[in-house]
Amino acid sequence: MNDKMHPQDWRPSAGLRVLQLRARVLHFARAFFAQRQVLEVETPLLCSTANPDPHIENFTTTYVGPQAAQGMDLYLQSSPEFAMKRLLSAGSGPIFQICKSFRQAEWGAQHNPEFTILEWYRPGFDIAALMSEIEALMHGLFENESAHGVQNLQTTQIISYQEAFLSTLGIDPLNASLTELMDCVKHQGVNVYGMHSEGRDAWLDVLMSHCVQPRLGHNRLTFVSEYPVSQAALARINPHNPKTALRFELFLDGVELANGFHELANAEEQRIRFQQDLAVRKRHNQPQPPMDEYLLQALAKGLPDCSGVAVGLDRVIMRLAQATQVNDVMAFPFGRV
């Protein structure tokens, strides 16, 4: 095997050592949840609906056959979230899943259009309890790899989205005007050609990805919590600060590893947020996926009070392998399929 990419090369891009590491990570994760009596589940990757998030572009395909002679439009799932919430509403209890997910227009050093996701949901957990469990999983993975030369992580950090911006850029992301955000981006020297008609969230995303995120989590887990409400379509509003939502992201050495929520359980509110996402997609001339009525029915039936998180396993494996390219930890990344 060869770790380097070669055009039109039939060989795996990840070496045997890394493939063995990937196998150990999957085994450890399954044992971690089995010990905690969290049920492993499988849900469809091919569905009739998709996430309307304007930041996600979905893969589409068409089924032709019995019950659909004229063809049925289908989507490859960007996350198993909606189906897993249906299981939760049906009484599954705590669940996890390791599966493939798919997103258009994501191909680079840390992205592959097809990637491996670890997602789990914990009824009765708030985001503090869920962050603690994520920390235990991550530290366990690093300790498990210590025999292979991987150093343990330093003490975990938890900060708010607002604190991250103030400490890094000296600007308050919750209260700064659009003009102030634009001036901050200009002052940081970030190239944003063609962005002048965008709203606050787009400028916050630029500052987060280019200026704040690279400084987060040096050899330690850093949880950034309390994101703006406008950036948390599936999370509950923070009862202590209505400008923020009960959402967090996990960073390690400037790389995002996980995204978690205290899950929104109100079907009517979720429908409104989906409609808002679809309106944004329409303004941007993006495709309009159908709204997931199955999910909305499940929420109306009663989603248990729970928190959930999605972890990008490929990026975790990258960090354990000290790899700089996601291609280096996948047998056959997009360039070799």
Q: Quick one: angle between helices 178-188 and 200-207, nearest 10?
A: 30
pLDDT in tens, 133-152: 999 999 999 999 998 999 99
What tens-digit pLDDT sequence spans the chain (337 residues)? Answer: 444 555 668 899 999 999 999 999 999 999 999 999 999 999 999 999 999 999 899 999 999 988 887 888 999 999 999 999 999 999 999 999 999 999 998 888 899 999 999 999 999 999 999 999 999 999 999 999 998 999 999 999 999 999 999 999 999 999 999 999 999 999 999 988 777 667 899 999 999 999 999 999 999 999 999 999 999 888 999 999 999 999 999 999 999 999 999 999 999 999 999 999 999 999 989 999 999 999 999 999 999 999 999 999 999 999 999 999 999 999 999 988 8
Domains of the chain: 16-156+220-336 (3.30.930.10)
pLDDT in tens, 223-255: 999 999 999 888 999 999 999 999 999 999 999
Cα 225 to the chain's mean position, in Å?
Answer: 14
Predicted pLDDT of residue 7: 61
158-189 residues labelled b (16+ CB within 10 A) or e (exposed): bbbbbebbeebbebebbebeeeebbebbeeee
* Residue that has been written with the tokens 């700064």 in this structure: 176
